[in-house]
């Protein structure tokens, strides 16, 4: 037992000595780190201060440079060309924005614009007729050469076989020649002494060649071909053949006779049967049949 005790004491001394050495090393390392951080902070502070000083000086220097007025002269030569190839210029200017006075025709209309006076158009300083672009007045029609021609009302003179008065609706059509393609249409009623004049202002009917056709109840339709519009304004259609009591087929045949036979001998003193009482004498008889018989088999246009 007496030999173990001294060894224990000696071991404690060695252990304490090792701890002391480690503690001293840690203290020394801590002090060195603190000194290093202090040095780095001082360096960063100096660098930041220097950078701020340089920035402030440079901003003041640049502001003085930028505040100085500078005059820059730009000289440009510009040639303007419109959509039709007309060139204007050259214009030499040292301004960014150049004001050019528009060129006009004698009435003040600018180049390549329609005049207030239809159908004139300002082209290269000259007023020309251009109804295709500038249009015509409502009382005129555009012609192929660009001019406008005044439109007179169309006067259609018609006569209805056997009638002294006519109150049914009459339909007028302007057709593409040799077709049933309707270009323009109008309607009218009335008439006296079997004659009727229709004044139709066909402002929407272009200049051209047309077939004019009239359709009315109880009569065969009638067409006049190849009318030059608007040079021909008075068209005489002449007599419309009576007896087409059944209008759908535009032909006088047994279907029409069937309607007349059902009313044979009937009296219409108020003349309210303009179909079967063809001469408007108030009775359906042989006189009415004579009209139908004369036109038997005829067809409308």
- More confidently predicted of 69 and 155: 155
Look at residue 192 in the predicted model and tell me its pLDDT.
57
Look at residue 17 in the predicted model and tell me its pLDDT.
66
Task: With cut-offs at 50, 70 and 90, classify the pLDDT of residue 2.
Answer: very low
Whether 93 has a pLDDT exceeding 80, the answer reads no
Q: What does the pLDDT look like over 129-164, one tens digit per residue?
A: 999 899 888 777 788 899 988 777 777 778 888 776
Range from 178-182, 197-201, 287-291 carrying the lowest mean pLDDT: 197-201
Integer Cα distance of 65 and 191 in angstroms? 96
Look at residue 211 in the predicted model and tell me its pLDDT.
92
Whether 66 has a pLDDT exceeding 60, the answer reads no
Q: Domains in the chain, ordered, with CATH?
A: 78-142 (no CATH), 152-240 (2.60.40.1120), 252-301 (1.10.1330)
Q: What does the pLDDT look like over 109-118, one tens digit per residue?
A: 999 999 999 9
The two tokens of residue 45 are 């502070």
Integer Cα distance of 62 and 60 in angstroms? 6
Q: What does the pLDDT look like over 198-214, one tens digit per residue?
A: 666 656 677 789 999 99
The sign one gets for the Cα dihedral 292, 294, 296, 300 is negative
DSSP state of 237: E
| Residue 26 Cα to chain centre, angstroms | 92
The two tokens of residue 171 are 């339909």
39 burial level (CB within 10 Å; 0-12, 13-18, 19+): exposed
CA angle, 159 then 163 then 168, to 5°: 80
Whether 124 has a pLDDT exceeding 70, the answer reads yes
Q: What does the pLDDT look like over 254-269, one tens digit per residue?
A: 888 888 888 888 887 6
């Amino acid at each position: 037992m007496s030999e173990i005790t001294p060894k224990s004491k000696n071991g404690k001394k060695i252990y304490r000595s090792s701890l002391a050495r480690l503690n001293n090393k840690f203290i020394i390392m801590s002090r060195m780190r603190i000194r290093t951080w202090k040095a780095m902070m001082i360096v960063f502070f100096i660098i930041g201060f220097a950078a701020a000083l340089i920035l402030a000086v440079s901003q003041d220097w640049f502001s003085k440079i930028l505040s100085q007025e500078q005059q820059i002269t730009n000289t440009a030569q510009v040639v303007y060309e419109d959509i039709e190839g007309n060139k204007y210029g050259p214009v030499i200017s040292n301004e960014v924005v150049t004001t050019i006075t528009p060129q006009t025709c004698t009435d003040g209309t600018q180049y390549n614009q329609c005049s207030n006076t239809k159908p004139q158009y300002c082209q290269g300083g000259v007023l020309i007729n251009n109804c295709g672009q500038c249009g015509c007045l409502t009382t005129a029609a555009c012609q192929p050469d660009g001019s406008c021609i005044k439109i007179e009302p169309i006067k259609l003179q018609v006569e209805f076989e056997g009638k002294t008065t006519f109150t049914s609706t009459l339909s007028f059509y302007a057709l593409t020649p040799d077709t049933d393609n309707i270009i323009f249409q109008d309607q009218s009623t009335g008439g006296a002494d079997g004659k009727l004049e229709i004044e139709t202002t066909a402002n929407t009917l272009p200049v051209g060649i047309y077939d004019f056709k009239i359709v009315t109840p109880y009569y065969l339709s009638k067409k006049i071909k190849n009318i030059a519009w608007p040079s021909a304004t008075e068209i005489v259609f002449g007599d419309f053949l009576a007896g087409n009591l059944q209008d759908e087929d535009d032909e006088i045949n047994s279907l029409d006779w069937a309607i007349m036979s059902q009313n044979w001998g009937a009296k219409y003193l108020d003349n309210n049967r303009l179909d079967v009482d063809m001469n408007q004498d108030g009775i359906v008889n042989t006189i009415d049949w004579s009209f139908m018989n004369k036109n038997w088999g005829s067809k409308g246009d």
